[in-house]
Amino acid sequence: MDRHVGFIAVAAVVAGASVAGVRRYRGDLAAAYARLGTVDRAELSTDFGVIEYTDRGEGPALLVSHGIFHGCDGGLLAVRDVIEGRRVIVPSRFGYLGSTLRQDASSATQADAFVELLDHLGVDQVDVIGISAGTGAALQLAIRHPGRVGHLVISSGNLPSSPTATAPPSWAKVFYNDPAMWILKAKMRPVINRLMGVPTGFPQTGEQADVIEELVDSIFPLEPRRAGAVFDAYVSNPEVNTAALESIEVPTLIVHARDDPLASYDAAARAAERIPGAMLVGLESGGHLALGQTSRVRSEISAFLEAPDRSDQRA
């Protein structure tokens, strides 16, 4: 399929949309902006442009490097049920919501921007969780600034040689907007579920269906996330193939479902072999969203983060 076919497909659905459908779209989009408006967000002017972030809770600090189509709001949602007793710091990565996307942006410069934010917040060392497309920046933070990272967790990660580490065809950008993505949500639900990483056979329960619905809704409004999503898909995700995993010195945990239809479990297993001392937790099912695995993921991450950071053993 080329981009013209993609445009035709979207146009055909739009042409068939009813007046009620247009009203529903407008209502959903207004609700999405209202939902975003409830998130307490701050902005910091840095050498890398503006960094938007949210900072919640008390306890040992945890920095979240969020996934594609998210932002600080989606990062909070992604860890809400698996992280407890922590101060959670979630920057909107480059190009997401209020954060600047510079022309020279990379996963490495994103990691450096994280450090500038931590300096501003007075946080000397932080545990880090990289989620999906946020993996590259999380890895670079551990590689470039090992003294600032206590523990590194990679969840459903975009890792070297995974299909997600290859840039999609150029026509895919046609879907990186609110109307097109909303059409997939409203008219082609199996398609958007697949884009979210829901494996065949899910959801299996009403609770899992609710989780999927909430996460699908969380990517809206998409327009203020578009620049970041394009950067992730075409620049940041492919960059992970050159990451020097063997140089990572910090304790690392990789959590990945074997049936993840987006990010390869085999790539996660290979990454665990390359990162010195890394632990791999393979979930038997649940896909990219780890559906039905919340209790185990929470338990595994909690036990890992409570372990000594081994900082006194570093060179």
Taking alpha carbons only, the member of 48, 43, 176 closest to residue 105 is 48
| Average pLDDT of the residues in 69-77 | 98
Question: In this structure, what token pair is assigned to residue 184?
Answer: 């997939």
17 — pLDDT class (breaks 50, 70, 90): low
65 with 135: CB under 8 angstroms?
Answer: yes
Structural domains in the chain, CATH included, are 3-12+38-305 (3.40.50.1820)
| Average pLDDT of the residues in 276-299 | 98
- pLDDT of residue 15 exceeding 70: no
Secondary structure letter of residue 250 according to DSSP: S
pTM over 0.85: yes
- pLDDT of residue 310 exceeding 60: no
What would the pLDDT profile of 48-61 be if each residue is shown by its tens digit?
999 999 999 999 99
Neighbours of 283 (CB within 10 A): 21
- pLDDT of residue 114 exceeding 90: yes
- pLDDT of residue 312 exceeding 60: no
**CA atoms of 315 and 311, how far apart (whole Å):** 9
- pLDDT of residue 39 exceeding 50: yes
What would the pLDDT profile of 206-256 be if each residue is shown by its tens digit?
999 999 999 999 999 999 999 999 999 999 999 999 999 999 999 999 999
Taking alpha carbons only, the member of 278, 218, 220, 260 closest to residue 76 is 218
Q: What 3 state SS string does 80-102 have?
A: CCCCCCCEEEEECCCCCCCCCCC
240 with 136: CB under 8 angstroms?
Answer: yes
| Average pLDDT of the residues in 120-124 | 98
